[in-house]
């Protein structure tokens, strides 16, 4: 299906009017330049298909980093009535709670520059990466069961995380879950993957704060000009992937499931038995991902302790791919909704944010792509009515991995060297797949986020070294 009927509302907002089987309209936040790529990749069709799902309210939204995904577009946001709506694994994705953590080191770039390569190589050893990664932090079945039900509480009880880490993690890194709806196969896959990066676009990056746009908020986050930071991007690994696989299979076999013209959007009423079981399993996988990122943080702290006798502090750790029950205003009334964010970040503004961010708004971490900048933003109040309090999660692909290899394999190493970025990939192939040119311009994506009043910039960081999965 080719989308033809698109209206430009303002410089940063495009509307796909409601027609045919659509229950709501589609809204895409973008710029003219970014939107051209969106039109070409087919992801707008996914925005339309999501708009047809039962119980959807307000609109089917897409962030400026939108690109083609499984079911929902990556960068897709949709909320469903919690009493009458659905839950869709395709609206969460296979990498449940894939997310980003940012650490501040308290150290100036000049202090670390001479040892960048050594630090990066040690981190490569401490935080396993790649599809065939070495085993992560050792846990047993009892540990894993506790991780699924309690998330970061498990790590704090064992001295692997601090109370401050919990405070600075979305949902305190612990979502209430029974932990009994995750299959044995999923648990087996996750058993050796705590504290690992995995492959694809997952990474660990050492950065330098290059620009500060709001001194007061940056100071509250402990960030200053030329400070060295560390950003970690990983999720629920094989465990989350198996949870998605298991429930998609169950939905295909169930008579209760809701099927649409797009089989990837198969869904079920959230208050059905399968819907409730999937939601609980998704929460368990999210807890696993919170701990996975935390144990990568633990590995980074070990390295910085060894080299500089400092332990970097967590600024924030957040989720991308997740569905959450939240209260929002719909047609003038407060309603309980299940908000799907697929490749998108919760970005509540001041007043709606949880402590300690009630005055600043939730941090929004938008990573670049090896050779490009990354950003810290905060949510703004307006986005509650624009996107259920959501911003984008990255810059968004414009080339497939195979296309990136063909186009950039001969120049990536030279390009990173020219930018003085040291790369330590698990394989050369992943370095080429994740070439900076295979993604949208992150500065323009952030400009679209700000222009659409979804979030505002606090700090910009540039890469010094990167470990790729």
The token pair at 392 is 């984008």
Q: Is 80 annotated as a binding residue?
A: no
Q: Is 367 annotated as a binding residue?
A: yes
Chain centroid to Cα 368, Å, comes to 12
Whether 393 is catalytic is yes
Q: Is 202 annotated as a binding residue?
A: yes
Report whether the peptide linkage leading into residue 356 is cis, meaning its omega lies within 30 degrees of zero. Answer: yes
Q: What angle do CA 280, 285, 288 make, to 5 degrees?
A: 130
Q: Is 67 annotated as a binding residue?
A: no
The token pair at 327 is 């209260």
For 329, phi then psi, to 5°, come to -85, 120
What is the rounded distance in angstroms from the CA atom of residue 328 to the CA atom of residue 325? 10
3-state SS, residue 270: coil
Q: Is 306 annotated as a binding residue?
A: no
Q: Is 71 annotated as a binding residue?
A: no
Q: Is 393 annotated as a binding residue?
A: yes
What is the rounded distance in angstroms from the CA atom of residue 179 to the CA atom of residue 60? 31
Q: Is 368 annotated as a binding residue?
A: yes
Is the Cβ–Cβ distance between 330 and 337 less than 8 Å?
yes
Q: Is 157 annotated as a binding residue?
A: no
Candidates 67, 340, 362, 393; catalytic one: 393
Q: Is 95 annotated as a binding residue?
A: yes
DSSP notation for 321-333:
SEEEEEEEEETTE
What is the rounded distance in angstroms from the CA atom of residue 272 to the CA atom of residue 283? 16
Q: Is 409 annotated as a binding residue?
A: no
Q: Is 205 annotated as a binding residue?
A: yes
For 143, phi then psi, to 5°, come to -60, -50
Through-space distance between the first and last CA atoms of the chain, rounded to whole angstroms: 35
Q: Is 60 annotated as a binding residue?
A: no
Q: Per DSSP, what are the bridge partners of residue 26?
A: 16, 60
| Tokens 């699924």 found at | 148
Q: Is 181 annotated as a binding residue?
A: no
Is the Cβ–Cβ distance between 197 and 204 less than 8 Å?
yes
Q: Is 453 annotated as a binding residue?
A: no
Catalytic positions: 393
Binding site membership: which residues?
95, 201-205, 233, 320-321, 367-370, 374, 393-396, 468
Binding site membership for Mn(2+): which residues?
95, 202, 233, 320
Binding site membership for GMP: which residues?
201-205, 320-321, 367-370, 374, 393-396, 468
């Amino acid at each position: 299906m080719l989308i033809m009927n698109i209206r430009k509302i303002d410089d940063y907002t495009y509307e796909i009017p409601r027609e045919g089987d659509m229950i709501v309209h589609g809204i895409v936040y973008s710029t003219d330049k970014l939107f051209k790529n969106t039109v070409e990749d087919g992801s707008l069709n996914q925005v339309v298909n999501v708009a047809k799902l039962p119980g959807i309210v307000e609109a089917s939204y897409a962030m400026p980093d939108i690109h083609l995904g499984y079911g929902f577009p990556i960068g897709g946001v949709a909320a469903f009535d919690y009493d009458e709506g659905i839950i869709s694994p395709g609206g969460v994705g296979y990498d449940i709670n894939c997310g980003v953590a940012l650490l501040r080191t308290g150290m100036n770039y000049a202090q670390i520059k001479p040892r960048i390569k050594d630090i990066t190589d040690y981190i490569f050893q401490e935080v396993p990466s790649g599809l065939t990664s070495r085993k992560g932090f050792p846990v047993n079945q009892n540990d894993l069961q506790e991780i699924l039900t309690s998330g970061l509480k498990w790590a704090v009880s064992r001295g692997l995380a601090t109370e401050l880490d919990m405070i600075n993690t979305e949902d305190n890194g612990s979502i209430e879950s029974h932990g009994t709806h995750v299959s044995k196969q999923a648990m087996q896959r996750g058993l050796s993957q705590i504290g690992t990066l995995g492959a694809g676009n997952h990474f660990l990056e050492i950065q330098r704060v290059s620009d500060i746009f709001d001194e007061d908020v940056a100071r509250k986050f402990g960030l200053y000009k030329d400070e060295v930071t560390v950003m970690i991007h990983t999720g629920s690994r094989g465990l989350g992937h198996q949870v998605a696989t298991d429930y998609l299979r169950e939905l295909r076999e169930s008579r209760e499931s809701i099927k649409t013209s797009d089989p990837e959007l198969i869904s079920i009423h959230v208050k059905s038995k399968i819907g409730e079981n999937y939601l609980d399993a998704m929460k368990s996988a999210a807890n696993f991902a919170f701990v996975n990122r935390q144990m990568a943080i633990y590995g980074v702290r070990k390295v910085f302790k060894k080299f500089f006798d400092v332990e970097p502090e967590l600024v924030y750790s957040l989720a991308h791919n997740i569905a959450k029950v939240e209260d929002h205003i719909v047609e003038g009334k407060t309603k309980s909704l299940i908000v799907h964010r697929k490749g998108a970040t919760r970005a509540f503004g001041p007043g709606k944010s949880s402590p300690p961010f009630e005055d600043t708004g939730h941090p929004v971490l938008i990573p670049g792509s090896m050779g490009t900048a990354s950003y810290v933003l905060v949510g703004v109040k307006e986005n509650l009515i624009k996107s259920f309090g959501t911003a984008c999660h990255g810059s968004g692909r414009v080339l497939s991995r195979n296309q990136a290899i063909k186009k950039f394999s001969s120049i990536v190493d030279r390009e990173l060297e020219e930018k003085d970025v040291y790369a330590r990939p698990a394989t050369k192939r992943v370095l080429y797949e994740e070439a900076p040119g295979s993604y949208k311009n992150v500065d323009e994506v952030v400009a679209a986020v700000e222009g659409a009043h979804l979030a505002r910039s606090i700090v910009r960081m540039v890469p010094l070294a990167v470990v790729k999965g």
